[in-house]
């Protein structure tokens, strides 16, 4: 029996479902055994993985979140491109089997898939249907509509809106939702050399000016930069709506909240685009780490074959709310009536299939995890009144570009 290990960042319900997948694979055959290991948050998992690689103790499979993928894809010799791993081990692979939104986020500039999409998500807007009814309003499609209903939600006793991650939901996906370039060099896909972040734009300035105004008016709540700091306000029934991951679906369902809730697409500004575009794929993918024996690589390839089967994908989607990464799994979910029973479960997949534009397939910025830290630091300083948004955006641009230039140097 060949044994392989899988480091991941899925805690709670998500971790239990990961274990279920591993047990399913182990029970499905007798040649290979996979052991999943929970390594903490996305950031912690990436840090441990990089340290382990340097020490020659890397796992076979490492889960890397969207923000870290450019760094890992750019780390020469650290991973085996998943497309090569599969074809060398006789596992059929066709990039066209994957839904459009996930196809290129983890691919190199030639379109070769490097990371295996796994828990793919999109930021959507959840709403407390009882709260909206009490205020006599409908869930907003655009931020303009949000501005129109926010006073009514406030009068009804709610914080109208919170969100769970400013960089992911209001910076990165702000760009895809409006089809705006997020970095030069074709959003970074044409090479690290000279790539600069385009965060200091008129649209970002407008958006964060509004967010600050909403905060001052009591239309927006901000309780910290941790993933769950703000979601807790929704779960407690204090916030009427929250922008969060489609992957929150399973956790919310399990909590059996004492109010009706549903979800809709991430809002966009009609003043920027008449119709919103599809969002970037979020969540994480699985990388096969280099430096492993042929037998272990074969085991990893067989595990990926199992993981991407329509049945396993559907099970994962159903339990968690992460989107099915293949068309076959999405069709299976539809045919099984999953979306008739849980309409909110289809918001993520559908949002990833909205109109595409030049700037919706992804962004590729090395050291983006560190850039996110700068974004979180500066944007929360704006919201706490310590600095002005114009200064914050300029600081993010300056520090972000310095990090991008440092990454470009590592690419030789």
Ligand X SMILES: O=P(O)(O)OC[C@H](O)CO
The residues that touch ligand X, with contacts defined as CB under 6 A, are 42, 65-67, 119, 121, 168, 245, 247, 282-283
Closer by beta carbon to ligand X, 122 or else 233: 122
φ/ψ of 163, rounded to 5, equals: -145, 165
Q: What is the closest distance, in whole angstroms, from the C-beta atom of residue 280 to ligand X in the complex?
A: 8
Query: SS3 of 395, please?
Result: helix
Which residue, 107 or 301, is less far from ligand X as judged by CB?
A: 107
**E strands in 164-273:** 239-245, 261-264
Q: What angle do CA 98, 102, 103 make, to 5 degrees?
A: 65
Least distance in angstroms from the C-beta of 384 to ligand X = 23
- Which of 121/176 has CB closer to ligand X? 121
Strand 159-163 relative to strand 239-245: parallel, antiparallel, unpaired? parallel
Minimum separation from the CB atom of position 321 to ligand X (A): 9
Nearest by Cα to 126 from 44, 32, 235:
235
Residue closer to ligand X, measured from CB, 86 or 323 = 323
Token pair 């944007």 in the structure block, residue: 379
Residue 126 to residues 94, 160, 164, 267, 277: CA-CA distances in angstroms?
Answer: 34, 12, 11, 11, 19
Q: What is the C-alpha separation between 136 and 213, in angstroms, rounded?
A: 23
Degrees (nearest 5) of the Cα angle 186, 188, 189?
75
Q: What is the closest distance, in whole angstroms, from the C-beta atom of residue 83 to ligand X in the complex?
A: 22
Taking the complex as a whole, the smallest distance from the CB of residue 249 to ligand X amounts, in Å, to 10
Distance (Å, whole) CA 229 – CA 164 = 7
Output the smallest distance, CB 227 to ligand X, in A: 7
CA angle 322, 325, 331 (to 5 degrees): 100
CB of 112 to ligand X, least distance (A): 22
Sheet with 261-264, edge to edge strand ranges: 159-163, 239-245, 123-128, 261-264
Rounded (10°) CA dihedral 35, 41, 46, 51: -80
Residue 167 or 221: the one with the smaller Cβ distance to ligand X is: 167
Nearer to ligand X (CB atom), residue 150 or residue 284: 284
Question: In whole angstroms, how close is the CB of 277 to ligand X at the nearest point?
Answer: 17
In the complex, residue closest to ligand X by CB: 282
Q: How far is the CB of 148 from ligand X (least distance, A)?
A: 29
**Dihedral angle of Cα 171, 172, 174, 180, to the nearest 10 degrees:** 110
Return the number of the residue (250 or 283) whose C-beta is nearest ligand X.
283
Listed in sequence order, the residues at least 6 apart from 47 whose beta carbon sits closer than 8 Å to its beta carbon are none
Lookup: tokens for 359? 């700037």
Place of tokens 């009814």: 133
In whole angstroms, how close is the CB of 118 to ligand X at the nearest point?
Answer: 10
Cβ proximity to ligand X, 83 vs 119, nearer residue: 119
Considering beta carbons, is residue 281 or 312 the nearer one to ligand X? 281
Closer of 18 and 131 to ligand X (Cβ): 18
Instruction: In whole angstroms, give the CA distance from residue 205 to residue 21.
Output: 44
């Amino acid at each position: 029996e060949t044994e392989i290990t899988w480091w991941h960042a899925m805690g709670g319900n998500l971790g239990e479902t990961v274990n279920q997948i591993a047990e399913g694979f182990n029970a499905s055959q007798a040649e290979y055994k996979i052991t999943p290991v929970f390594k903490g948050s996305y950031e912690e998992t990436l840090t441990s993985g990089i340290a382990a690689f340097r020490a020659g103790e890397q796992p076979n499979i490492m889960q890397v979140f969207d923000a870290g993928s450019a760094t890992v894809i750019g780390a020469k010799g650290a991973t085996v491109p998943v497309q090569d791993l599969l074809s060398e081990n006789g596992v059929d692979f066709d990039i066209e089997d994957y839904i459009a939104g996930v196809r290129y986020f983890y691919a190199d500039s030639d379109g070769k898939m490097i990371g295996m999409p796994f828990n793919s998500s999109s930021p959507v807007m959840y709403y407390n249907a009882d709260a909206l009814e009490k205020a006599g309003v409908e869930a907003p499609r655009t931020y303009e509509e949000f501005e129109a209903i926010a006073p009514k939600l406030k009068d009804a006793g709610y914080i109208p809106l919170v969100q769970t991650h400013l960089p992911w939901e209001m910076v990165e996906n702000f760009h895809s939702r409006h089809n705006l370039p997020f970095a030069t060099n074709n959003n970074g896909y044409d090479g690290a050399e000279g790539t600069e972040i385009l965060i200091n734009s008129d649209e970002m300035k407008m958006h964060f000016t509004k967010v600050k105004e909403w905060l001052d008016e009591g239309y927006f709540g901000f309780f910290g930069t941790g993933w769950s700091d703000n979601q807790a306000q929704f779960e407690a029934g204090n916030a009427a709506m929250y922008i969060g991951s489609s992957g929150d679906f399973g956790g919310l369902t399990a909590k059996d909240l004492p109010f009706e809730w549903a979800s809709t697409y991430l809002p966009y500004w009609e003043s920027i685009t008449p119709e919103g575009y599809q969002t970037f794929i979020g969540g994480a993918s699985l990388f096969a780490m280099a430096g492993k024996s042929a037998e272990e690589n074969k085991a990893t390839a067989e595990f990926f074959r199992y993981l991407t089967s329509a049945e396993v994908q559907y099970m994962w989607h159903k339990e968690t709310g992460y989107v099915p990464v293949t068309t076959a799994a999405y069709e299976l979910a539809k045919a099984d009536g999953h979306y008739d029973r849980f309409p909110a479960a289809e918001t993520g997949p559908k949002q990833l299939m909205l109109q595409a534009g030049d700037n919706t397939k992804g962004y590729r910025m090395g050291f983006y995890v560190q850039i996110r830290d700068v974004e979180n630091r500066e944007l929360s300083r704006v919201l706490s009144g310590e600095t002005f948004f114009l200064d914050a955006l300029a600081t993010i641009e300056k520090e972000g570009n310095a990090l991008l230039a440092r990454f470009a140097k590592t690419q030789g």
